[in-house]
Amino acid sequence: ETVSANGEIDKILQGCYESYPLMRFHDVAMEKCCQMNEWLDFYDQLNIRINGHQEYSLYKYLPYPVVNFHRFFAGTTAQEHRVEYPRADYQLYSSRKTFENLIDMFLAGIKPEKRRFLNRDIISTELIPHLMYIISPDLKKVNKTLFTQEEKDTLAKLVHTMIDYGLTYVSQKTNEGQVLLKLEPPIEQVLYFGLSKPKSLLPRQHELRQLIASEIQQEIIITRERLAMTKQKKETLKKTVQVIAKPKILTKKVAVDYFNRPIIEEEPNTSRMEVDAIPQPVVRYIYHEGSSNAVKKPMKVKDFF
């Protein structure tokens, strides 16, 4: 009756489920745990029938699995742990959102030719575990001048891999004032779990991390300069082609006299030619052969004009 009157049966059951493994109880054969799992399955079946099939008449049976937690796990000895408000669900949700944001930030820094084959699931389950081993080479020396040719090739491959996936080492100051170089973005956190923390795969030596970060910055600067020079060459070539293809405009040269004054040529006067020209007749006379009974009168040709 107390559980039914509370109304928050789901929260009570979730709190009991999170707390019962921490309780002291006598169960050598794990029979109580098996029986409790059957009651939890019964609770899930009731929830499905109530919420999925609207059989609200079964709602009165929901408090019984909660009561069985007390029947099975309430020992006679004093308990060190008390039943608290459930927090595991919210903590799991917060951790999931943190990891998703971290993977999205890592995915945004990857070059497009590699990013098109990746998604969240592939990155978290397949890429990051192997990538941590790839970017953690076994370099014992911290001075580049003492590297052998094989170690130089390994360092060059490491730098190109980290640039392709947008990784670098960034200096961060701790609360004690110590400066540390940490991986950015911190994708190694995806491999950490609540119960255990795996062995760190990244180089532990501060000088080695500083060398890798310096090589990454130099390679990025060289790549940018190479791209800028290529772009400048393309623009110069484009301007050259435009100058060659542009046709030359020929201008008429004006004759000048001794004092460098332009000589104006006089155009011929055509007004006299127009006066002497015979004007074209307005009316034309056409002779037709044949006879006519009309009155005939002698006429001259000029009378028709």
- What are 149-176's pLDDT values in tens digits? 888 888 899 999 999 999 988 888 878 7
pLDDT reported for residue 33: 85
The phi, psi pair for 182, rounded to 5°, reads: -120, 155
Q: Would you say 187 and 102 are in contact if contact means Cβ atoms under 8 Å apart?
A: yes
CA 300 to chain centre: 102
Say what percent of the chain tops pLDDT 90: 5
Whether this prediction's pTM lies above 0.85 is answered by: no
Which pair of tokens denotes residue 99?
């990891």
The predicted-structure confidence for 229-252, as pLDDT tens digits, reads as follows 888 887 777 777 666 655 556 566
Q: Would you say 150 and 142 are in contact if contact means Cβ atoms under 8 Å apart?
A: no
User: Per-residue DSSP letters for 32-72?
Assistant: HHHHHHHHHHHHHHHHHHHHHH--GGGGGGTHHHHHHHHHH
Higher local confidence (pLDDT), 215 or 84? 215
Out of 67-76, 105-114, 124-133, 191-200, which region has the weakest mean confidence (pLDDT)?
191-200
Q: Would you say 18 and 88 are in contact if contact means Cβ atoms under 8 Å apart?
A: yes
